[in-house]
Amino acid sequence: MILLQSHSRFLLQTLLNRVHNLEKAVEVDYNWVEFDDVRYHVQVSMKNPHLFLLSVSLPIPSADTVFCGGLPSGAIEAIKAAYGILVQILDPPRDGFNLTLKLNLSKLPLDEDNRHTILVKVASIREVVLGAPLRGILKQLGSRVVASDVNKLVALVHRPKESFFLVPQAEKVTVVFPMRFKDSIDIALATSFLQEFVEARRTAGLNNAPPCSWSLSPPQELKGAPSDALSANAGFVTFVIFTRHVEGKRVDRVIWSLSTFHAYVSYHVKCSEGFMHTRMRRRVESLIQALDRAKPDAIETRRKTHSRSFKRLVGDGNAG
């Protein structure tokens, strides 16, 4: 199975190209969209080639998700902690976007390895912003701090108008994903995939992974959730995160894996569908080839039959 990268590959490549050609006054103006409707816009002017403007548009939050100033809770603090003086948050952001950052590329370290590490972090702006509220909850779990909102259902956006839910507790955090798909084939494949996903967790090599369960009906943790959250045509997936799962640098991997879990499942559902389509096309092609190989034999047989009949008629005429 393939895990999605936390950084935007196109954004990282754009940053690297800009850094390697910092002395050249080249105008840059790019727009693109990545999975779960996260949109990016980057701009560099010829007048200030060392200033890099990065704007990000997040998925539209559902009614049960709270944004503060157009951003998830704790996003501003997370940006300042991640980038320090390298970036400046512009207020208001670019029209149509939730966030605009101004990067001064001339302040990057001269050491190439350190510079590349920072640029990868900048290209991971999606993880920093969307994962900010989740990071806050998991850090409280890791430090064994009992939060004031313990046992309170928390909704976090991860797709346009869709949320997943957390229930923070003193010793664990329960995470619930309502899984929804539009296409009937995707629903069937996702249901089968999730059942196998849960079964795979029970293998001996994954004993330290977070416990995982799947059900068609809403779990008890979603009691009191809005009615829209209780409808999921591919069921509900529940993870239980304990303190050992968020120790040290593990927390970064857990945050990204949870934030993109639906995209991870969707990716593998589409891969499975494409694989089956490929197998079907190959099977049809092999059948067509078999039919094509059979056609010349039938034609040759008919020719031989007609030839023998003609000779027999000629011979009978001479005998008469």
Q: For residues 236 and 229, give the distance between their C-alpha atoms in angstroms, rounded to a whole number.
A: 10
182 in the same domain as 213: yes
Question: What does the DSSP 8-state code read for residue 118?
Answer: H
| Per-residue tens of pLDDT for the chain, all 320 residues | 566 788 999 999 999 999 888 878 788 999 999 988 999 999 999 888 889 999 999 998 887 787 888 899 899 999 999 998 889 999 999 999 999 999 998 888 888 889 999 999 999 999 999 999 999 999 888 887 766 666 788 899 988 888 999 999 888 999 999 999 998 999 999 999 999 888 887 776 777 888 899 999 999 988 888 888 888 999 999 999 999 998 888 898 899 999 999 999 998 898 888 888 888 888 898 888 888 888 765 555 566 655 555 455 555 555 44
Residues 68 and 157 in one domain: no
- Report the distance separating Cα 81 and Cα 78, nearest Å: 5
For residue 213, what are the contacts with CB-CB under 8 A and spacing of at least 6? 198, 219, 237, 238
55 backbone dihedrals φ, ψ, rounded to 5°: -115, 145
What CA–CA distance (Å, rounded) separates 147 from 141? 9
Q: Is residue 151 part of a domain?
A: yes
Assess if residue 289 is contained within a domain.
no
Write down the pTM of the prediction: 0.79
Is residue 278, in this structure, part of any structural domain at all?
A: no
Quick one: pLDDT at residue 205?
72
Note whether 93 and 191 are same-domain residues. no
| Structural domain ending residue among the three candidates 104, 134, 164 | 134
Instruction: List the Cα angle 168/171/176 in 5-degree steps.
Output: 40
In-domain check, residue 245: yes
Q: Are residues 178 and 76 in the same domain?
A: no
Q: Please say which residue of 134, 162, 194 terminates a domain.
A: 134
Whether 159 and 44 map to the same domain: the answer is: no
DSSP helix, strand, coil percent of the chain (3-state; round to 5): 50, 20, 30
Task: Report long-range pairs for 34-39 (Cβ below 8 Å, ≥24 apart).
Answer: 34/8, 34/126, 35/4, 35/260, 35/263, 35/266, 36/158, 36/159, 36/160, 36/260, 36/262, 36/263, 37/159, 37/160, 38/126, 38/130, 39/97
Sign for the CA dihedral angle at 122, 124, 129, 131 comes to negative
Nearest to 270 by CA among 184, 150, 189, 151: 189
Q: Look at the alpha carbons of 43, 47, 52, 53 in this order and tell me if their dihedral is positive or negative.
A: negative
- Asked if 39 and 117 sit in the same domain, the reply is yes
Same domain, 150 and 118: no
- The CATH number assigned to the domain holding 73 equals 3.30.1460.20
Q: Are residues 264 and 148 located together in one domain of the fold?
A: yes
Q: What is the pLDDT of residue 130?
A: 93
Range of the domain at 91: 9-134
Cβ–Cβ under 8 Å, residues 58 and 130:
yes
User: How many domains, the chain?
Assistant: 2
